Chains A and B, each alone.
Chain A
């Protein structure tokens, strides 16, 4: 037998790191939860959770902040996946926040519930007394995120203070908080978009159908393709047309654009992403386009 050199592949290293982070949270916090939207990053995160505690069940509930404007395919997938795992799924509804007068719906053509989600999320964290909340965010997504910790401290208003972050060394994470504060935990911090897709391929993980090329009625706004839907307000100068598209990210219908693509398999998606020259958020998210510091501002307020 050849001498082993114990080289480890990048996916194995990233997976081992993410499992370590999940177990650390389960060991050190009283009431964690995992944000599960049915998007690819949270699907990968859920698979990691399944692996981290096997053969035991995942020792925390899943939570989705539902704007009410999500794609049907994704909601169906979310519910089915949670049921398969026997996991408890909490749905925090933006519609409820609106009905209770906690937030006011935006009006006009560009109205979106994206920003309203923050209030719903923070209210749900408070109601359920969650002290650690797993999110699928990655540092390669956006430059404010590039500076965020794996264990990201939030004060009792849920706010992130980028200038006052706890140093993170080796694989040691500081889980100390006071009552009312919480930690956002990002086990996929060091993954890139391509790593996520490579992992989905390697693991044979099922993902919602809208990630694959399909024919859809869309219209163009600011260079993005938005879907024909009751919840997206379309002007008369924004004609509908049919196109073969897929989604690179899955979010609220009002601010998530499709990309023209014929990629029908995970392999074809990986080829497409490896060749692409535009970031996933730049290509498909109106919410990040409002200003250069859009993500930073929302994160400070307590966004995902």
Chain B
């Protein structure tokens, strides 16, 4: 059994909470005491039906105001897969939360109300999914019961959305007509849509192939921690020196020739160690410890790659950034801390090229700053070289966060672009 992480986008009006509630309920991930608590609260508030959105609205302020503040993570499993849902709210701070949820997602579900069709917010959701390079996108056309399960309506929406998506980086796009309320095509195929030849949503989630979404081509091993046992009792490990980290790309094997960055020195992998014994290969997302044949000075923040396939060594970066705070704006000359893989440095914003309107994709080149939830294209200069790949090629070596040095808050997410 493997794990599929997916993000859901859409507002309560689109039936998102109902859909999540149904997936959780039908997979038995909602328990009786949780359901009772929700039923009790619904009754207390005078709501006629059991409000499944109460299952995901976890904080007091959210329940009192009927809004969702933050990304909530939900878990369910079927015999085939474990699922992690990043449930992001549709109301406020939408962009920031969706970017956060999408950063680790294998798949995104965008909900569309069949009566309303493709709205501005649907396009925004699709754009963010594409910007964050979520490999699989499902467009769930919901409330099909309210359009008499009309094939024409479904096809209309499919055509309109496909035309828009052709402008984006969407590798795999699937359309499913559903009714979250009645359960049509959610867990099993519905008799109400005999014209629909595809699978149910859950069947799709259980079977979509994600193993090849990881980059298994470019060897990237950011060194996270140096392991040097100092226990006097362990004479066998007296001279042990291992480099621990999580594989960010490629497949490593003992004997492989590798290059260390920033030194450029080459050596071979002597052993790939784990607590459970040495392994014959390591690939994403494994956390392992490498030992090398030669004694090279290696520390946290360094990168291991292959001599003939190295990341770009850069102090000048081009990136799309999503600004995530309202306490401060990004402007040219902003100085921030950048964290990229296991390396932390300082960054200077050299230029803001444009601010992107996430609804129309219009580029405002007159923009002089980015505020909360705004996305723009920037040039950064970094105080020490980073070992980067284009975000589209590897999300782990192409993504970074920016930290405000005054408040220590995480103020932006960045995606590195235009790396040769």
A interface residues, Cβ below 8 angstroms from B = 5-10, 12-17, 19-20, 23-24, 26-27, 50-57, 86, 139-140, 143-147, 162-163, 165-172, 174, 176-178, 189-190, 192, 194-195, 276-279, 282-283, 292-293, 296-297
Contacts and interface: CB of A to CB of B under 8 A. Distances in A.
B196 interface: no
A168 B408 contact: no
A194 B342 CA distance: 31
Contacts of A9: 1-2
A174 B339 contact: yes
A137 B56 CA distance: 18
A172 B401 contact: yes
A170 B224 contact: no
B105 to A, nearest CB: 11
Contact of A170 (B59, B399, B409): B399
B130 interface: no
A296 B285 CA distance: 32
Contact of B285 (A17, A145, A166): A17
- Among B32, B75, B228, B395: residue with most chain A CB under 10 A: B75
Given A20-B287, A56-B228, A143-B58, 5 more contacts: A7-B211, A10-B81, A10-B82, A174-B408, A192-B77
Interface string B347-366: 00000000000000000000
B275 A13 contact: no
A52 B70 CA distance: 31
Interface string B61-83: 10100000111111101000110
Contacts of B237: 55-56
Given A147-B71, A189-B73, A162 B410 contact: no
A8 B410 CA distance: 31
Interface stretch (B95-103, B121-129, B151-159): B95-103
Contact of B410 (A53, A163, A166, A195): A166
B2 A176 contact: no
5 contacts: A51-B275, A54-B227, A140-B74, A165-B70, A190-B84
Interface of B: 1-3, 28, 31-34, 37, 41, 55-61, 63, 69-75, 77, 81-82, 84, 96, 99-100, 103-104, 211-212, 214, 216, 224-225, 227-231, 234, 237, 240, 244-246, 251, 273-276, 283, 285-287, 289, 300, 324, 337, 339-340, 342, 395-396, 399-401, 403, 408-410, 413
A52 B288 CA distance: 8
Contacts of B103: 169-170
Given A139-B75, A165-B70, A174 B401 contact: yes
Contact of A56 (B96, B100, B229, B396): B229
A174 B2 CA distance: 28
B306 to A, nearest CB: 17
A167 B410 contact: yes
B84 A169 contact: no
Contacts of B224: 20, 23-24, 27
A50 B84 contact: no
A109 to B, nearest CB: 23
A170 B395 CA distance: 8
